[in-house]
Chain A
Amino acid sequence: MSTERIGKILRISGPVVEADGMLGSSMYEVCKVGDEGLIGEIIRIQGEVCTIQVYEETDGLLPNEKVIGTGAGLSAELAPGLIGQIYDGIQRPLPLILEQTKDDFIRRGVVTLPLEYDKKWPFVPTVAKGAKVVTGDIIGTVQEGPVVSHRVMVPPGVQGTISSIVKAGDYTINDPIFKVKNNGSEKNVPMLQKWPVRFGRPIKERLEPTIPLLTGQRVFDTFFPIAKGGTSAIPGGFGTGKTVSQHQLAKWSNAQIVVYIGCGERGNEMTNVLEDFPKLIDPNTGEPLMNRTILIANTSNMPVAAREASVYTGMTLAEYYRDMGYDVALMADSTSRWAEAMREISGRLEEMPGESGYPAYLASKIAQFYERAGRVKTLSTEERQGSITITGAVSPPGGDFSEPVTQNTLRITKVFWALSKDLAARRHFPAIDYLVSYTLYTNELSPWFSKEVNPNFLRYRSEAMALLQKDKELEDIVQLVGPEALPESEKIILEAARMIKEDFLQQNAFNEVDSFSTIQKQWLMLKVIIDFYNKMRELYNQGVKLPEMMNLPIIDKITRMKYIPNEKAEGELAGILAEIDALHADDIVDRISGRMMTDLKKD
């Protein structure tokens, strides 16, 4: 990398600054702009004139102020201390900004380090002197909070023989931890790594996505599952519950690390996460969720260029933990704001616009971002697997899915969770449109579901989907001729579909029990409804009327089954299933006539 160069500001237009005297600069190099040293990045080079997008407010900047090229691209710092942190779009820790400036507002020109350089971490070596290592090999571990064991890896580009390594003890991230000898030269290596955020970290090979990422959300796991290493898009107009769905995924996904990027969204939502996550307990570890979470918060009123960078910063942190062999879930809320940031910068550059004013490279940028997901074999001597699963929220203007960001996202993502304004208006939450949404992982994941959950799982799932489809057709008829015109046998379908919708798909994110369902509980709940549907058909054929069935006490049990705690679900739901199995036409008719008899007696 080249040395520092000093240029001068030529022109200022909002977040875009042009500077001359910058010959020798490279694309995406970080610059310090103006006397205050505002951070920016070179996005266009024309001779000795560079165009720089500045990550902070540019008010008060003067032409002819100096611009310093740092010679390095925008990089993330990677070492212990990332977990539980909350960063802005360019990895400045927000708590530290508050502490340093003693100011509740973020002013510009604040310089903070992403990680604590003087904090000592308990390092335990796992290799000995003389070991041959390559990039990605684990040479030791640091316990990073109660949950995450931070595996210290040989950084990219380094390999050779370990000529010395420190004893177990406390070290800062900049202390040399080991020496590596290669081709006669020796190198000191600390825990700290740096990586340019716009480039993916290297891997050995990609693997098939054959394991589902379980989210505890019934509509996702059972109907439209996503694989570990997969990609999903969750588009919806405002008020349809994008953010609550994203929060639910961040809370309950069975990933080991969660990176949550609040990209151009509300400040209060990030505050909500900050207040909730330290209190909520992760069902997989029994520890607060915050201990496995990294937050990137670039709210809608923070500088737009940093918003553009925030998704890359988050992705790089995710890749670092993937390389350690963890399953990482990354949520980006919302990718539309990221695309809009690109549009705004592009407009200031006076580039020829594509659709809806978005730059022509929108599609390729979106594709590149989602392609950084995947389940992979990491670069290392030992066999190690890790994954990054991406869920991107999309906020289409006017809720219209035909707009460019939604369409370009759908071209690349494999799971489509469509949020419906209609369902939201009926308070059907999560408002995932079960007829429009899809997953393309069904084939890859079906062996897992058959083996780990139940061999019949997929058959029941198809049956439930078919019922919902039939329900939609019947509803259309009801709209024309009224409900009474349907034959009884079809009303049974409506009733079963209602159960699927109300008692299975609807899930209350704010109820302690209902917020999260294990996959076993989901399967049994589904089985209860489908078995009951088949029982209804059987009873109907034996002459029992629908209102009589709807009066059965079992109905109330089905309604309440979502509130059965996960640990008791297996036993109690097995009880309900046995009860359904035992239902008999004669008993029902008898009991009902019996009750009528007693009612008569009372009168």
Chain B
Amino acid sequence: MTQTPSKITPETLSKRIFKTATEVSGPLLFVDLKGKAGVSYGEIARIKLPSGEERSGQILEVSRDIAVVQLFEGTSGMDVDQTTIQFIGETMKLPVSSDLLGRIFSGRGEPIDGQPPIIPEVELPISGSPINPYARQYPREFIQTGITTLDGLFTLIRGQKLPIFSASGLPHNEVAAQIARQAAVLGQEKDFAVVFAAMGITAEEAQFFRNEFEKSGALDRVVLFLNLADDPAIERIITPRLALTAAEYLAFECDMHLLVILTDMTNYAESLREIGAAREEVPGRRGYPGYLYSDLASIYERAGRIKGRKGTITQMPILSMPNDDMTHPVPDLSGYITEGQVLLDRGLHRRGIYPPINVGPSLSRLMKEGIGKGLTRRDHRELADQLYYAYARGIDLRNLVAVVGEESLTEEDHRFLQFADEFEGKFINQGRDENRSIFESLDIGWDLLKNFPNPKRELKRISEKIIEFFHPNNRDSNKNYDSRDI
């Protein structure tokens, strides 16, 4: 990877110390440059408070006279009289090497596990660069998560960005941890690693994830960046970028398959809003800055595969929808950028179904190219369509029954109604440690379809060929159906 060489030499560095703060406002500090130019856009500042405490910040805007510095750790205790500001002549960088694995960092990249800083192979700018679309390779490799609803209906593909849309009180952490745990066990453990970035989650939640990784013995294959609820909010702006810089290094330089979990993106967006407000920017929807889409894209688009490189980055951002509202700007804009979404549902959760995945609005955009013969199994696509359709019809009927009662339903309607119940109980519902193979998952689907006595007529989404081969009534007991290639 190439880098822009720094324009600032050590000699000029000493001249770049200022004691001329003029204004402190929210997370922003305004510095009078006294006409001494040579401070660049985006560069990092070290600030020394009157108390002796040191903090860091980044330049958001610079002119010949004034630099606007955004403080990651907040501005409390700062004054305009004694605070000294030193600009270090570099944009934000993360020192990386393969020793990153197994380490724990703060939300701004400092080790907090009591071990020394890593000896860097290279220092990478955390803002990253866009992957040339021409250099990308379209993701097609199936990841088995062991969760039936995901593998069967919303297949996760290596290099995909698939968020979990959740809300307070729902088990998104359990689902994410289960995926991280089970996706690792594929005979390729060595190449697999998880980068976990926490933004504003509680210490308890962070501890939960650490325990989960520890339990599965995978802690040495995990890099954690933790910005917890009581850590400075502005720091959250850089946490996901640090995590993705680490992931890019491990994926594209060390040939590993990365799963990046970013939680919670709503907290991230709120920090962005805070800065926007402090800068008195014209707000877009619900006070979020107008560039929220571009900003989120600069994070989510750092997933993918590159031609000729072995490693991949798969992203699983978690975001909570305030008031369960999917049209809230954060889930809404995320949905426009990510390649699908997995939506958790309060109703299912209340009925004790785990994982409470709401099948209707969930989607995996990359699924169609990553499943089928040789990848998962030949019947996968048609079966998934049929299950989805039958369940949707069952749900429609459920709503109808609530209004007009069961009497006016036909026999066929009753079968769909029953199917919907069984689908939730057997297909969606599974144990928190239950790791089902893709073949098990698909066959659970087939078993549910046995409800329909006349498959060729009632299962319109599945072709006759597939029904003849895969329907439980037609199976040959001597044949092995647990194969990608049958």
Give A contacts to B, CB under 8 Å.
10-14, 18, 35-36, 57-64, 86, 94-95, 97-98, 101, 103-109, 237-239, 262, 264, 266-268, 270-272, 274-275, 297, 299-302, 304, 337, 340-341, 343-344, 346-347, 350, 353, 356-357, 395, 397-400, 425-427, 478-485, 510, 559
Minimum C-beta distance from A251 to chain B (A): 16
Q: How far is the CA of A97 from the CA of B307 in the complex (A)?
A: 15
Which chain B residues lie closer than 8 Å to A301 at the CB level? 130, 294, 297-298, 301-302
In Å, the complex CA distance between A13 and B291 comes to 13
Given A98-B132, A105-B131, CB of A397 within 8 Å of CB of B285:
yes
Prevailing SS type, chain A contact patch: mixed
**B133 partner, pick from A64, A297, A481, beta carbons under 8 A:** A297
Given known contacts A63-B62, A272-B138, A398-B327, is B127 in contact with A57 (CB within 8 Å)?
yes
Given contacts A104-B307, A484-B410, 20 further A-B pairs with CB under 8 A are A10-B63, A10-B64, A59-B127, A60-B6, A61-B41, A62-B39, A62-B40, A86-B133, A105-B129, A106-B129, A264-B297, A271-B137, A271-B138, A302-B130, A347-B290, A357-B290, A398-B326, A427-B389, A480-B403, A482-B407
The digit string for B283-318, where 1 denotes a CB below 8 A from any CB of A, is 111000111011001101110101101000000000
By a CB distance below 8 angstroms, the chain B residues around A94 are 132-134
Closest to A64 in B: B37
* Minimum CB distance partner of A93 in chain B: B134
B15 CB–A CB distance under 8 Å: no
When distances are taken between beta carbons in the complex, the residues of chain B under 8 Å from A12 are 41, 61-63
Cβ of B337 under 8 Å from chain A:
yes
What's the nearest-Cβ distance from chain A to residue B401, in Å?
9
Of the four ranges (under 10, 10 to 19, 20 to 34, 35 or more), the interface on chain B belongs to 35 or more
From B43, B130, B136, B282, A353 is in contact (CB under 8 Å) with: B282
**Partner among B1, B7, B132, B138 whose Cβ is within 8 Å of the Cβ of A60:** B7
- Bound-state Cα–Cα, A86 to B136, Å: 13
0 or 1 for each of B363-390: is its CB under 8 Å from A? (1 = yes): 1001011000000000000000100110
- Is there contact, CB below 8 Å, between B7 and A266? no
Q: Is B477 an interface residue (CB 8 A)?
A: no
Interface residues of B in 125-145 (CB under 8 A from A): 125, 127-139
List of A residues within 8 angstroms of B137 by Cβ: 271
- By a CB distance below 8 angstroms, the chain A residues around B409 are 482
A-B contact count (CB 8 A): 221
Determine the distance from Cα of A107 to Cα of B134 in the docked complex, in whole angstroms: 14
CB <8 Å contact, B332 and A398: yes
Contacts of B281 in A (CB 8 A): 347
Which residues of A sit under 8 angstroms from B40, Cβ to Cβ?
59-62
Q: Are A268 and B132 in contact (CB under 8 A)?
A: no
A109–B4 Cα gap in the complex (Å)?
10
Question: A297 vs B366: C-alpha distance in the bound complex, in angstroms?
Answer: 19
Q: How far is the CA of A272 from the CA of B162 in the complex (A)?
A: 17
B169: interface (CB < 8 Å): no
Closest to B326 in A: A398
Residues of chain B with a CB closer than 8 A to A35's CB: 7
Give the shortest distance, in Å, between A539 (CB) and chain B (any CB).
21
A238:B293 contact, CB within 8 angstroms: no
Whether A60 pairs with B4 at a CB distance below 8 angstroms is yes
Across-interface contacts of A341 in B (CB, < 8 A)? 294
User: Please, which residues of chain A bring their CB within 8 A of the CB of B4?
Assistant: 36, 59-60, 107-109
The reply to whether A267 and B133 form a contact with Cβ atoms under 8 Å apart is yes
State whether A340 touches B290 (Cβ < 8 A). yes
A60-B360 in contact (CB<8A): no
Closest to B336 in A: A238
Which residue from chain A places its CB closest to the CB of B89 in the assembled complex?
A60
Compute how far the CA of A94 lies from the CA of B135 in the bound complex, rounded to whole angstroms. 9
Q: How far is the CA of A538 from the CA of B294 in the complex (A)?
A: 59
- CB-CB under 8 A from B329, the residues of chain A are 397
A106–B91 CB distance below 8 A: no
Chain B residues with CB below 8 A from A483, complex form: 408, 410
Contacts of A62 in B (CB 8 A): 7, 37-41
Chain A residues near B361 (CB-CB < 8 A): 239, 425
Q: How far is the CA of A61 from the CA of B39 in the complex (A)?
A: 8
Q: A104-B132, A106-B129, A299-B133 are in contact. Are A63 and B37 (CB under 8 A)?
A: yes
Contact at A300–B293, with CB atoms within 8 Å? yes
